Amino acid sequence: MIEANLNFLDKINFLGFRIWDFGLRSLNREYSWLFLFKIILKYPLKSLTGLLAYRRFCQSIDQISAHNVYSNPSIDDLMSQAKIDRSSFLIAMGYCQRPLKTDSQPMDCPSLRFSHDCYFVENHRRANRFPSACSICEIKSIAEAAIKADASFYIMTSALDIARDIFMPTLEKKWLRTAILFICPYSILPITLPLFICGIKFIIIPYVTGDCCNYADFVRADVGVKPKRAFSSGQNYDLVLDLLTKLTKENNPGNKEASVLKKGNIYSSER
C-alpha cells in the first residue's frame, strides 16, 4: 500500500518532483542521511537552485527510455566546456559493466567486481598483454579513451561512495563541471538531483540490458549483489567513444601518451 502511494506521487509529478518513491524508501540508508546533512543542509542555496533545476528537468521528461541519451545542457555545449576545462571532466561507469563469468562466458574481470579498480587502466603503460577479459570489456575502451582525452575516470559502486567521491568534493572544492555517466534507467532521476545541486553538467547513458529495474534491485546492487552484467546500447556507447576521440584530437594534436594517477578512487591523466 505504501509503495503504491509513493509510486502514485511520482506518476503525478507531485510538487513537480519524481523522486518520492526512491527518496522516502531510502530514509533508512546511510546515503540518505549523508545527502541530507552533508549536501542539502550544508549548502542550502545550491540545493534550492539545484532542486528548481531538477524540477524543470523532471517536467521535461515524459518517460525514461533506456535508448535515449539524457543531457543538460546539450551534448555540444557540454563537450565545448569539457574541452576548455578537461581537469573538471569525469567519465563514470558502473561496476556491473565488468565482464562476469557465466556458463556461456568463461572470462571474469581481473579486478574485484565491487570496487573502483581497473586492471587495464592501472597497467596500460607497463604491460604488453592483458587478461582475455579486457578484450571484451566495455569499461576498458571507454577508460582508455577518457585517459587519452585528459578526462578523469571513475568506476561507480555504491551511492554512498558516489556521494563521497564525486558530490561532496565538487561542492567543497568546485571540482567537477562536466560528466558522462553510464547508469540504470531506474537511477536516472535519483542521480540527476545531486548533479543539479552540484552544478555538474551531464550526459547520461542508460543501460538497455542487465539494469536494476526497481528499488529492490537497486538496494542489492548498492552492496555489490548484482549477478548480471549491464550494457548500454551500441549506438550510445559509440557516441561516447566518438565524443572522447574528437576531444583527444582537438586538445592534443601530438597525442603524447598520458600516465595515470589514482587520487582516492578517481583515475586522472598526467602528461
pLDDT at 233 over 80: yes
Report how many domains make up the chain: 1
Spatial distance between the Cα atoms of 208 and 228, rounded to a whole number of angstroms: 13
Does residue 218 belong to any structural domain of this protein? yes
Residue 259: the pLDDT is 72
Task: Give residue-wise pLDDT tens across range 81-134.
Answer: 999 999 899 999 999 999 998 877 888 999 999 999 999 999 987 767 888 999
Residues of the domain holding 128: 65-270
Strand partners of residue 179: 90, 202
Task: Give residue-wise pLDDT tens across range 158-174.
Answer: 999 999 999 999 999 98
pTM above the 0.95 mark?
Answer: no
Does residue 17 belong to any structural domain of this protein? no
Does residue 37 belong to any structural domain of this protein? no
Q: What secondary structure does DSSP assign to 164-224, as a single string?
A: IIIIHHHHHH---SEEEEEE-GGGHHHHHHHHHHHT-EEEEEEEEES---SHHHHHHHTTT
Q: How far out from the chain centre does Cα 185 lie?
A: 12
Task: Give residue-wise pLDDT tens across range 53-91.
Answer: 999 998 888 889 999 999 999 999 999 999 999 989 999
Does residue 133 belong to any structural domain of this protein? yes
Residue 203: the pLDDT is 98
Task: Give residue-wise pLDDT tens across range 205-218.
Answer: 999 999 999 999 99
Does residue 259 belong to any structural domain of this protein? yes
For the range 48-52, what are the long-range contacts, defined as Cβ-Cβ under 8 Å and sequence gap of 24 or more?
Answer: 49/196, 49/197, 50/193, 50/194, 50/196, 50/197, 50/198, 50/199, 51/17, 51/193, 51/196, 51/197
Mean pLDDT of the chain: 90
Higher-confidence residue: 5 or 247?
A: 247
Task: Give residue-wise pLDDT tens across range 28-40.
Answer: 899 999 999 999 9
Radius of gyration of the chain (CA): 18
Spatial distance between the Cα atoms of 177 and 259, rounded to a whole number of angstroms: 23
Does residue 3 belong to any structural domain of this protein? no
Spatial distance between the Cα atoms of 242 and 72, rounded to a whole number of angstroms: 19
pLDDT at 253 over 90: no
Task: Give residue-wise pLDDT tens across range 96-105.
Answer: 999 998 877 8
Does residue 27 belong to any structural domain of this protein? no
Does residue 45 belong to any structural domain of this protein? no
Query: Which of 200, 201, 203, 192 has the alpha carbon at shortest distance from 171?
Result: 200
Residue 130: the pLDDT is 87
Spatial distance between the Cα atoms of 52 and 16, rounded to a whole number of angstroms: 9
